[in-house]
Amino acid sequence: MKLEGRIVVVTGGAAGIGRALCERFHREGARAVIVVDLDAGEAARVAQTIGGVAMAADVGVSADVERVVEETEARVGPIDLFCSNAGLLFMDPDFDDAASDPVESWTRGWNVHVMAHVHAARALVPRYRARGGGAFLHTVSAAGLLSQIGSGVYSTTKHAAIGFAEHLAITHRDDNIKVSVLCPQAVDTAMLRAAGPSSASVDGVITAEQVAEAVVQGLAEERFLILPHPEVLTYLQRKTADYDRWLAGMARLRRTVRDRPL
């Protein structure tokens, strides 16, 4: 997919990767970029800089996602690309207890990282099918393919997000509905800085603008996996080739992260 002349929705668009996507899509000639975020003020500021449209929404709530789709199509036009980008990170309260996150964190993580994608698909798949196609971009993280040391919620929900994206791509391939998953490792965002020492930084930290560049290339090539850190593919191949060896290696990496000084 080329972005020129397209109507694009980006959730979590007020900061980080989402803001970089909004700005880059605008430079690529998108007809309109809809900046969606919980923070209405920041969404409006980003939209103003790119001549876009701001909307406030909680992507974990089905009615909010449906409203974004309905208002966009009524006010701006038919959506060509929906980018489910909003995310959050809960680190395990007890680094040495994999199940230490409270139920509230699991629920919120599931709603934002999994159900947000489902809500978007429920709202848009019938519309895409009726008009002959459309596209989804799911920001997932390399954690969905590998793991996230120190966060059971993030690791689990991101794996589930990959599962739904695969199901969406398989089921609707013949409907000309394109699905891509964005799976970077460490990106210089507020989320990464708040997390502290992380295994995701082992291959270096890239900018949100570099991620946006990878997205533009990946969408143009209609790739399912968009990997701003190409090393992730090697790790995934090692994981599937010898799961037990990979688990042992991740345990060693976890010890390194645990012992790293702040």
Provide the annotated active-site residues: 154
CB 124 within 8 A of CB 79: yes
The residue count of the chain comes to: 262
Amino acid at 260: R
Report the greatest alpha carbon distance in the chain. 55
How many whole angstroms separate alpha carbon 204 and alpha carbon 188? Answer: 10
How many whole angstroms separate alpha carbon 81 and alpha carbon 135? Answer: 5
3-state secondary structure of 207: coil
How many whole angstroms separate alpha carbon 92 and alpha carbon 82? Answer: 31
How many whole angstroms separate alpha carbon 83 and alpha carbon 181? Answer: 10
Q: Name the burial class of residue 208, with classes exposed (0-12), middle (13-18) and buried (19+) by CB atoms within 10 angstroms of its CB.
A: buried
Q: Which residues contact 52 (CB under 8 A, 6 or more apart)?
A: 22, 26, 32, 33, 34, 35, 46
CB 186 within 8 A of CB 238: no
3-state secondary structure of 175: helix
